Structure 1
Amino acid sequence: MDTRTGLPVVGMVGGGQLARMTHQAAIALGQSLRVLAASPDDAAALVAADVRIGSHTDLAALREFAKGCDAVTFDHEHVPTGHIRALAAEGVKVFPGADAIVFAQDKQRMRERLSELGAPVPRWRPAATADDVAAFAATTGRPVVAKAVRGGYDGRGVWMLDDAQADAELLATGTPLILEERVPLRRELAALVARSPFGQVAAYPVVETVQRDGICVEVLAPAPGITEEMATRAQQLAIDVAHQLGVVGLLAVELFDLGDDLVVNELAMRPHNSGHWTIEGARTSQFEQHLRAVLDYPMGSTALAAPAVVMANVLGGAPGGMSLDERLHHLFAADPGARVHLYGKQVRPGRKIGHVTVLGDDLDEVRARASRAARWLQEGE
């Protein structure tokens, strides 16, 4: 508890853009967000008042960081589960707990558990040898999707294996792998829910996520053309997974839409890129909802603020040209309704440096505006 305000202190391990935007939500609630950042230059460390510098793999640093926090949570899933268990054993309220977050850290554990629960997943198996890959390919056909058991994100840690030579080259790296069939997906969806320790849940409208080169470039809310039955099915699936895994906080369930069926692709247990649109586009942002959940507050409304909401990620462009500040001037003059969030990151080609959200009545118009705004901030034209 912050003695100056009489309101809770939440500690967030990780100092990236998710912590930065969670800090913004905490301000409105009167809460103090403490951030454990790796560097003073991290996105959240540039704006938060209470910043501690340390590594998420250092148990001593985590213990010191947690002192005085009413709850500790994460802006990424890389804290060792042993450290999370140690903190919990010492009385720290850590959300999500180790028994839940392991399923977001370890894809093999996730697939095993989801299969046990009867959740829809692609055909899969662990693989350690060329014979494992060949046997799986014989039943699913090529290409085979290979995923690193731990550590992959934004397209990293995923490979398409077309032949035995590709199998051998990947296996030679020694990376622990699982194999999945390549499903005939129509598009990718995401179902975002929040769950409190009390067990209350709140589900956001199901969204479509548009990927390019393994990176999410757009989120369309609600997912265009989705039937009420499929949207309800996706939301209920996410709620069931949250309950069964004991998730506290935000859970993003990334889904493949196969037309008549849905299968689970990935899980994330934190605020998620597929929910950034909620800052302006929903009555309660995912960041405020995450804070409410970890503090066991009642959940906020997830209703849309407009019939159509589109979030477009801003990626770093080629060096040179007009400054980012100049680009903002031009963008705001051209489209005063575009809402820009920049993360304070150094610009590198292809790096996520911010996002733009546009609201309106017509999805095509809103999508075109969001895409144009993001492109302008990336390219200056």
Structure 2
Amino acid sequence: MIAAGGTIGILGGGQLGRMLTMAAAQLGYRCHTFDPNADSGAADVCAEFTSAPWADRNALARFAEECDVVTYEFENVPLGAARTIPADKLFPSARALEIAQDRLHEKAFAEDQGGRPAPYAQVDSLDDLMTAVGRIGAPGILKTRRDGYDGKGQWRIDSEREAEALRLPSSSLIYEGFVRFAAEFSVILVRGQDGEVRFWDSAQNVHNDGILATSCLPPASVIAAQIPAARALAERIAAALGYVGVLSCEFFATEHGPVFNEMAPRVHNSGHWTIEGAVTSQFENHVRAICGLPLGDTALVLPNVQMTNLIGNDVNRANELLGTPGMHLHLYGKSEAREGRKMGHVTRVWA
């Protein structure tokens, strides 16, 4: 167990690191963030900040020495950098990071645990793509295997003709069959060092242009019926990885049951509502888990919750939104509002 006053290291300095730092401070911990970007949102609130390239092994070693435990706030931390951290200090493990960084490995891993992803195929050439479209059908989505997020690195293909005309990027790709779904939802769990697992209620998610727009509770009935099966898969994934911390899995609710979309080995945007909407937030429980503390209660505070992302110029409506009863504002300290950039979020909780 890491005693209060200890130092938590965070690889990555974005808004998730910022909110982890704030939760850790409430439990008496100091946070030391490592990020190549010196203009980091977490830098505003953490006790210490190291800005150095991910390839700087000496800087990473010094960082690890100064921390009692280390975690990461996004899954695109280079695997080599994560493996610089001693394995007994890093939670979740580098293995979880390795799987989540590659969509092909991620889907195969979920299948190994009994999950059902969309039909998919590895694509390394135009011939591979044409074979995949012929076998799986169109429409479908061509994605980069690595580094894509919030709709980036994705191309919708509606026909074989479109596929044939596409100029493929040089990166490794995956083709996924289009899933006809009624709704999207997340399963977010926390797993302690002793293997205890707790779940938050599952929010119904709505995306615009590949970016999460809202997460709402309670979810539609079609989601509620599929939560037990989705939770069972998420728990098997966590157990197979020996996971410690918050794990997020996204699903499509379909007429044939839940279809696994992707996992994130970290706190997740669709769980931001837990700060005000749950007894213990995803951020606090992540800190509790990696520090070896007892896990907190994940129950809802009130039955209705809606989290809305403030994307780009939406941030200009912040004061207007604050006028709504029960509304809570979180801004991420980003100076420039750009299209598609998450600037903050608001959460409303009501009876």
Residue 15 and residue 227 in structure 1: after superposition, are their counterparts in 2 closer, same or farther (change >3 A)?
A: closer
- Residue 110 of structure 1 aligns to a residue whose secondary structure is helix
Q: Counterpart of 1:343?
A: 332
Instruction: Give 1:155 shift.
Output: 0.3
| 1:101-154 deviation digits (Å, cap 9, x = unpaired) | 111101111122222222111111101233322222223321222111100000
Within 2, Cα distance between the matches of 1:238 and 1:227?
Answer: 15
Residue 304 and residue 248 in structure 1: after superposition, are their counterparts in 2 closer, same or farther (change >3 A)?
A: same
Residue 246 and residue 114 in structure 1: after superposition, are their counterparts in 2 closer, same or farther (change >3 A)?
A: same
Aligned-partner residue type, residue 302 of structure 1: T
Instruction: Give 1:161 shift.
Output: 1.7
| Residue 346 of structure 2 corresponds to residue 356 of structure 1 | yes
Q: Counterpart of 1:221?
A: 217
Within 2, Cα distance between the matches of 1:195 and 1:81?
Answer: 22
Q: Counterpart of 1:375?
A: none
Within 2, Cα distance between the matches of 1:170 and 1:32?
Answer: 49
Range with bigger deviation, 309-318 or 281-290: 309-318
| Residue 61 of structure 2 corresponds to residue 71 of structure 1 | no
Residue 61 and residue 171 in structure 1: after superposition, are their counterparts in 2 closer, same or farther (change >3 A)?
A: farther
Instruction: Give 1:168 shift.
Output: 4.5
Q: Counterpart of 1:80?
A: 78
| Residue 109 of structure 2 corresponds to residue 113 of structure 1 | yes
Within 1, Cα distance between the matches of 2:65 and 2:223?
Answer: 47
- Residue 87 of structure 1 aligns to a residue whose secondary structure is coil
Q: Counterpart of 1:8?
A: 6
Q: Counterpart of 1:58?
A: 56
Considering only aligned residues, what root-mean-square deviation do their CA atoms show, in Å? 2.2
- Residue 299 of structure 1 aligns to a residue whose secondary structure is coil
Within 1, Cα distance between the matches of 2:214 and 2:33?
Answer: 28
Within 1, Cα distance between the matches of 2:81 and 2:319?
Answer: 46
- Residue 151 of structure 1 aligns to a residue whose secondary structure is coil
| 1:137-187 deviation digits (Å, cap 9, x = unpaired) | 223321222111100000011211234454345453222111111111111
Q: Counterpart of 1:259?
A: 255
Aligned-partner residue type, residue 116 of structure 1: D
Identity of aligned residues (%): 37
**Taking structure 1 as the reference length, what is the TM-score of the superposition?**
0.86
* Unaligned runs of at least 5 residues, structure 1: 362-381
Q: Counterpart of 2:15?
A: 17
Within 2, Cα distance between the matches of 1:328 and 1:145?
Answer: 34
Considering Cα pairs closer than 8 Å and 6+ residues apart, tell me whether 1 or 2 has the greater RCO. Answer: 2
Instruction: Give 1:234 shift.
Output: 1.8
| Residue 188 of structure 2 corresponds to residue 199 of structure 1 | no
| 1:8-34 deviation digits (Å, cap 9, x = unpaired) | 211001111001111111121011111
| Residue 312 of structure 2 corresponds to residue 316 of structure 1 | yes
Among 231, 242, 248, the alignment partner of 2:244 is 248
Range with bigger deviation, 113-122 or 336-345: 113-122
- Residue 306 of structure 1 aligns to a residue whose secondary structure is coil
Instruction: Give 1:226 shift.
Output: 4.3
Within 2, Cα distance between the matches of 1:56 and 1:74?
Answer: 13
CA contact (8 A) 2:211 2:340 kept: no
Among 278, 294, 304, the alignment partner of 1:298 is 294
Range with bigger deviation, 93-102 or 57-66: 57-66
Matched ranges for 1:104-183 at <5 A: 104-164=100-160, 166-168=162-164, 170=166, 172-183=168-179
Within 2, Cα distance between the matches of 1:98 and 1:192?
Answer: 19
Within 1, Cα distance between the matches of 2:202 and 2:55?
Answer: 34
Count of residue pairs brought into register by the alignment: 350
- Residue 86 of structure 2 aligns to a residue whose secondary structure is helix
- Residue 167 of structure 1 aligns to a residue whose secondary structure is helix
